[in-house]
Amino acid sequence: MEFDLQEDQIILKDSVKKFFEKEVSKDLIRELMENDTGYSPELWKKMAELGWMGIPFDEENGGYGGTFLDLAIIFEEIGRAAFLSPFFATVVLSGILLQNHGSKENKQAIIPNIVDGSVISTLAMLGKKGFYDKEELGLNAVITENGYTINGSAFFVPYAHVADNMICVTQTSDGITLLIVDSKSEGIDITPLHTLTGKAHDCVVNFKDVIVPADKIVGEIGKGWEYIEALFPKINALLSCQCVGGMQEVLRFTLDHLNQRIQFGKPLSALQVVQHYCSDMFIKSETSRYPAYRAAWLVSENLECKKDASIAKSWCAEAYKDVTKAAHQVTGGIGFTYEYDLHLFSKQAKTIELLFGNGAFHRSIIANEMEL
């Protein structure tokens, strides 16, 4: 067992952290929550130049063949910076699916462009009710002679409004099938939704008789859900790491505030009740770190991790939410202002808690894995 990062991982972590500190002010994040693109094309380019987009991809597809732990480190720092971008949608939701199950042609057509930052991609899956359930998907596809015709509406599709293409999780007569769709295809209509984290992060995408050529399938007909299920633990590990970074940062600036804010003639941080709130926040953040990284490590070692990834996601995401709630409590009025940074984190925390399954969802996976 080795609970510390290796030297090259520490270097990566520092460099990502410094990048965000230099490039991403909290005002920029407010802007990304308010404007109608929801990301910064300029920073997107810089991230690609730094090579982040290439981490999980094979060299033959233009990637850099990094480890999953490297990706986990980036997610921790994304969390710490409360950064908003289509990185998760493009690299993980779409990119990793393609890398693992896509045809050679499709991989070569898309992944190099993801790596160099010229393409944004996403995953269209959920129905209106937002259930992560294969019986409740938003899209149907009819198998035709030359390919497929998609109808329906996919909800909560991250960054669809700026995506060049999306992988669609469709219900067909032969089971769930993944199809790559060009966002400019005829019959597609995209409307950004206003969510907790902003005006342009998730979208509803309406499909009306959208025609998809047969060779745009990812993997095999009817195997789509298998692929999605194989992706879930990876998603859970990365989101957990994002929570870890977010929690640490919230605790850091909350402590700063508490040490400065004088009431009753002394800093708030001298009050025992306030100290105990902070200890609870610290316990949550300390105990989140290793489950999150353990899940990421299991992925990187290609080991079974369905249960461990759900343990991490359930624990870390609820912990992050709890930490932000405690921070709101002890920061009083200032913590409820738009100007103070806490809401950037607390909005993301609640979002991540629900993203790819809330705590109860993951506990039900854990119960299944325990063979109850």
Partner 1 sequence: MEFNFSKEQLSFREEVKAFIKEAKEQNTYTFMDNGFCEVLSQEFSKKMSKKKWIGLSWPKEFGGKGKGYIDKVIMIEEMLKVGAPLGYHYVADRQVGPGLIHFGSEYLRNKFLPPILNAENTWCLLFSEPGAGSDMANCKTNAIDKGDHFLVNGQKVWNTNAHVSDYGWALVKTNHDPKTYKYNAFSEMIIDMKSPGITVRPIYNTLGIHSFNEVFLDDVKVPKENIVGKMDNGFRQIMTNLDYERSGIDRLLQNASVHIALMDYIKTTEQNGQPLSKDPLIRDQIAQLEIEYEVGRLYVYYVSYLLDSGKIPSSETAVGKTFCTTYESKLVDMTMSIMGMPGLLRNGSPEALYDGSVGQSYLWSVPYTVQAGSVEVLKNIIAQRGLKMALK
Distance CA 7, CA 301 (A): 19
The pair of three-digit structure tokens given for residue 293, joined into one six-digit string:
């990284």
Q: Min. distance of Cβ 106 from partner 1 in angstroms? A: 33
- One of 255, 347, 354, 356 touching partner 1 (CB under 8 A): 255
Distance CA 299, CA 237 (A): 8
Span near partner 1 by CB under 8 A; candidates 33-41, 51-59, 259-267, 341-349: 259-267
283 forms part of the interface with partner 1 (CB under 8 A): yes
Helix axes 306-331, 359-369, angle to 10 degrees: 150
358 forms part of the interface with partner 1 (CB under 8 A): no
264 forms part of the interface with partner 1 (CB under 8 A): no
Distance CA 159, CA 119 (A): 12
Q: How far are the Cα atoms of 126, 136, 171, 356, 361 from residue 133, in angstroms, in the given order?
A: 8, 5, 12, 10, 10
| Cβ count near 281 (within 10 Å) | 24
Nearest to 163 by CA among 94, 64, 232: 94
Q: What is the DSSP string of 86-150?
A: THIIIIIIIIIHHHHH--HHHHHHHHHHHHTT---EEEE-B-TT----TTSBSEEEEE-SSEEEE
272 forms part of the interface with partner 1 (CB under 8 A): yes
51 forms part of the interface with partner 1 (CB under 8 A): no
132 forms part of the interface with partner 1 (CB under 8 A): no
9 forms part of the interface with partner 1 (CB under 8 A): yes
269 forms part of the interface with partner 1 (CB under 8 A): yes
Under 8 Å between Cβ of 342 and 269: no
Q: Min. distance of Cβ 261 from partner 1 in angstroms? A: 11
- One of 64, 282, 340, 356 touching partner 1 (CB under 8 A): 282
69 forms part of the interface with partner 1 (CB under 8 A): yes
- One of 82, 278, 342, 349 touching partner 1 (CB under 8 A): 278
- Core vs surface per residue 172-208: b (16+ CB within 10 A) or e: beeebbbbbbebeeeebebebbebebbebbbbbbbbe
Span near partner 1 by CB under 8 A; candidates 223-231, 282-290, 327-335, 350-358: 282-290
Amino acid at residue number 197: T
291 forms part of the interface with partner 1 (CB under 8 A): yes
Q: Of 219 and 290, which has the nearer Cβ to partner 1?
A: 290
Q: Of 167 and 299, which has the nearer Cβ to partner 1?
A: 299
* Angle at CA of residue 8, ends 6 and 14, nearest 5°: 100
Q: Of 118 and 287, which has the nearer Cβ to partner 1?
A: 287
- One of 148, 293, 320, 345 touching partner 1 (CB under 8 A): 293
User: In the range 311-330, which residues lie near partner 1 by CB under 8 A?
Assistant: 311, 314-315
* Binding footprint of partner 1 on the chain (CB under 8 A): 1-6, 9, 69, 251, 255, 258-259, 266-267, 269-270, 272, 274-276, 278-280, 282-283, 286-288, 290-291, 293-294, 297-298, 301, 308, 311, 314-315, 360, 362-364, 366-367, 370, 372
